[in-house]
Amino acid sequence: MIKLVVKMLANAVVVVGLTMWFGDASFLSALLVALVLGAVAYVLGDMTILPAAGNTAATIGDAALTYLVLWGASSMLGWNISYFDIFVIAFIVGIFEFFFHIWLLQDGIPGRKDNNGHARFPAQR
C-alpha cells in the first residue's frame, strides 16, 4: 500500500506543480487529473504491462499515458499549456516511473496475486 501512496504523491507533485507552473491550471483540476492519472497508470502500467513486458515497456507506456491524459485534460479544461510543456511533464513522470518500477520489481507488485518471477532484480527484461 505504501508504494501506491508514493506513486500517487509523486504524480501529484509533478503533475500539479508543473501544470500550474507551465499553464493556467487550477490546483483542484490539476490534482484531480493527477489522481486519475496515477490510478489508471498503476492498473495499466504497473499491474499489467510491467509484469508482462518489463520496465522499459511499462515506463514508455506510463509516459505516453501521461502525455495523452494531460493533452486531453488541457483541451477539455482549457489549460493554456503547450505540447512541449506536456512532453516535459510526461518525460519527468517517465523518469520517476523507471525507478518506481525497479522498486516494484524488487519486492513484488502490490495488488497482484501472482508475483512469482516478477520480484527479482535487475528490473530490465
pLDDT value at 42 more than 70: yes
The per-residue pLDDT for 81 is: 95
Q: d(Cα 117, Cα 85) in Å, to the nearest integer?
A: 38
> Counting Cβ atoms within 10 Å, is residue 121 exposed (0-12), middle (13-18) or buried (19+)?
exposed
H/E segment holding residue 42: none
The per-residue pLDDT for 121 is: 45
Mean pLDDT computed over every residue of the chain = 89
